[in-house]
Amino acid sequence: MGMTMTQKILAAHAGLDQVEAGQLIEADLDLVLGNDITSPVAIREMEKMHTSGVFDKDKIALVPDHFVPNKDIKSAEHCKCVREFACKHEITNYFEVGEMGIEHALLPEKGLTVAGDVIIGADSHTCTYGALGAFSTGVGSTDMAAGMATGKAWFKVPSAIRFCLTGKPSKWVSGKDIILHIIGMIGVDGALYQSMEFTGDGIASLSMDDRFTIANMAIEAGGKNGIFPVDDKAISYMKEHAKKPYTIYEADEDAVYEAEYTIDLSSLRPTVAFPHLPENTKTIDEIKEDIKIDQVVIGSCTNGRLDDIRTAAQILKGRHVAKGMRCIILPATQAIYLQAMEEGLLKSLIEAGCVVSTPTCGPCLGGYMGILAAGERCVSTTNRNFVGRMGHVDSEIYLASPAVAAASAVTGKISGPEQLEKGVIER
Amino acid sequence: MKAKGSVFKYGDNVDTDVIIPARYLNSSDPKELAAHCMEDIDQEFIQKVKEGDMIVANKNFGCGSSREHAPIAIKAAGVSCVIAETFARIFYRNAINIGLPIIECPGAAREIEAGDLVEIDFDSGLITDVTSGKSWQGQAFPEFMQRIIQAEGLINYINSGKTDSK
C-alpha cells in the first residue's frame, strides 16, 4: 500500500520499509526543541530521570522567546533555569536575547530544520517546519524530556487529508488567508490526529513565508502536522540556510487519504476569523458591519516574517494609524528586524505611528507587550482567538493577514487593503 | 483502579488557554497552577472542586497550546478523570504522560450532566452515572497506562523499571 509523505519520513526514522496509519512506532529524532515556558518543566522531569545527560548536544534547540526579554521575576527564574541547563549540557543551539527570535521563525532561518527531518518541540506550533518538507509536531514537556534524554519518541502513524491547491492567489491574498479559509472549511478539529498534506500546482506561487504560515496553523485544525512537497523554492531556501544535508520524500502515487479537497487559490479572498475560534471565518466581503478596533498586532510565529513586515509597511507607508489605535509590530527574529531596518520598512512603520518591538511571542498568548482590557478588540496576525487569549476574558481577537491588519490599523475598523486603495474609506 | 466523584460539565473546544491562562505560565508549580485552573471558563470551579471530582466535556477538549501545565493544573486541582467525546492530540499525550486519567466516550460525554455523581472502573472501562442510573462502556485502560498513572507520570514509571520492554 502506498504511503503519504509523512508516513515515508516516519518509516525511514523508525528503520521500517513500510508503515500504515494507526501503527505505533518509535522514531529517531533529528531535533528536539523547547522554549522558556515548556523547557523548565521538561528540565525538571529530565533531572528526575536516571540518565547522564542529553542524547546529542547538537540536536537540541532551546529558545527563550515567550516571556523574554524577561517580563517579571518568575519569568526571569524560568529563563535562568533554561540558560543554566544549556550551559551545563553544552547545548549548541541555545539562543540568548540578542541572537534569539520566535523559535519557529528562528530555527529554519538558522538552518536547523530541513526536509526529511523528524522534529518534536514542546510548543504546539512546531508543525511550522512542514513547509520545508519535514515531519514536525508539537508535544508536551514530558515528551521533550524523554526526547532530550533518548533521541527517540513514539508516534501513532497518522492518516492524512490531502489539500490540492490550484491557481494563483490574487494580490492581497496570502498564506494566512489560505489557512484561515481551510480551518473555516474543516473546523478546529477537522484534521484531529491527522496529517494535512498540501499538494498541487498552486504551491509554486506561494512564497516560503506563505508556506510557513500555512504549516504553522495546521494545529489550529487539530492536525498532527502540516507538510509541503519540496520544490525549487524550498531547495533554494535550504541552500541559503541549511547547516546539514536534507532528504526529499515524496508521497506515493497510491498513497491513501481519508479526505481530499481541491482549493482554487484564485477564488480566495482576504479572510478574518471572528472570536472566539479560528474556524469562525468570514471573507472581507462578508463583513458588512463596522467593527471598530482598539489594537493591531503584526507578528508571531505565524506572521512575523519579512514578507509580513514588508506587506505591513507597503500599506502603512505614507498613511497613519487611526487616532486612538495602538499598532504593535513584532519582527520575529533579529535577522528579520535588521533586514526590515535596512529596507527602510521600520521607518515607514514608525512614521505611520506604529511601535516596533524586539522579537517576542509576548502579546500572542497574553504574556505582555499588548494585553487587552475588558471590551477591547484587536485585529491580530497571530494564530488563536480563544477567550482571554490576549488579555481580559471580555476582550475580542480577530485573526487576519498582515495586509488586513495594517489596513485596519489605518481605518480603525476591520478593513481590507483594497478598500484603502480604492479610497472607499476616508480617513 | 477506580474513581468516583461529581461532575463539572463543559462544551466543545475547551482550550488550554481557558484551562490555565498564559498569564500564570510564569510558574510551573502544580499547586499555583491549580489555583487558577479553569479560571477563564468557570470562575467558581476552583472553589467548588473536591478531590476525586471529574470534568466531562464534548469534542476537542484541550485544544490549542502544548502547555503541559494544563493537565498538571487539572490533576493538582484534585480531578480524578476527564471524560470527553474527543481530545486534542497534544493534550491527550500530555495527560497520560503526567498521569491524569482521561477517557474518550462520546455517549457518556453527551449524556452525563453537571453535578451528577459518576463512578469509573479503569480496569473494565465501565462508566456509571450513579445519579441517572445510566452506564457506558468506555475503553479499558491498558495495564501499562494504569501503571503510568499510579506512578504519577511517565518519567517516574520509566525510573521504576516496570516497563514491559526493559
CA-nearest residue to A125 within chain B is B65
CA-nearest residue to A371 within chain B is B23
The answer to whether B58 faces chain A, any CB pair under 8 Å, is no
Residue B146 within a domain: yes
Please give, rounded to a whole number of angstroms, the shortest distance from the CA of A256 to a CA of chain B.
21
Show me where the domains of chain A are located.
5-264, 271-421
Q: What is the CATH number of the domain that holds B89?
A: 3.20.19.10
Residue from the list B13, B90, B156 with its beta carbon closest to the beta carbon of A140: B90
* CATH class in words for A5-264: alpha beta
Order of strands, sheet of A355-356, starting from the edge strand that comes earlier in the sequence:
A281-283, A271-273, A396-399, A377-380, A295-298, A326-329, A355-356
- Distance of alpha carbon A272 from alpha carbon A294, whole angstroms: 16
Task: Say if residue B164's pLDDT is above 70.
Answer: no
Domain tally, chain B: 1
CATH architecture, domain defined by A271-421: 2-Layer Sandwich (3.30)
Q: Which residues of A touch B21 (CB under 8 A)?
A: 366, 388
Q: What pLDDT does residue B158 have? A: 80
Position B162 confidence tier, pLDDT thresholds 50, 70, 90 = low
pLDDT in tens, A210-229: 999 999 999 999 999 999 99
Q: Which cell numbers hold the place of B130?
A: 450513579
Question: How many whole angstroms from its chain centre is CA A354?
Answer: 23
Residue B164 within a domain: no
Residue B166 within a domain: no
Q: Do A189 and B40 touch (CB under 8 A)?
A: no
Order of strands, sheet of B54-57, starting from the edge strand that comes earlier in the sequence:
B102-104, B81-84, B54-57, B2-9, B117-121, B126-129, B135-137
Phi, psi angles (nearest 5°) of residue A422: -80, -10
pLDDT in tens, A42-88: 999 999 888 879 999 999 999 999 999 999 999 999 999 999 999 99
Q: Which residues of B touch A145 (CB under 8 A)?
A: 155
**ipTM of the shown complex:** 0.93
- Which structural domain range is residue B150 located in? 2-159
pTM here?
A: 0.96
Q: Do A37 and B86 touch (CB under 8 A)?
A: no
Query: CB pairs below 8 Å between A and B: how many?
Result: 126
Q: Which B residues 10-49 touch A at CB under 8 Å?
A: 13, 15, 17-18, 21-23, 25-28, 40-41
Residue B120 within a domain: yes
Residue from the list B17, B59, B93 with its beta carbon closest to the beta carbon of A384: B17
State the average pLDDT for chain A.
97
Residue B165 within a domain: no
- Among A142-156, B51-65, B131-145, the range scoring the smallest mean pLDDT is B131-145
Q: Do B68 and A75 touch (CB under 8 A)?
A: no
Task: Say if residue A424's pLDDT is above 80.
Answer: no
Residue B126 within a domain: yes
Residues across chain A: 427
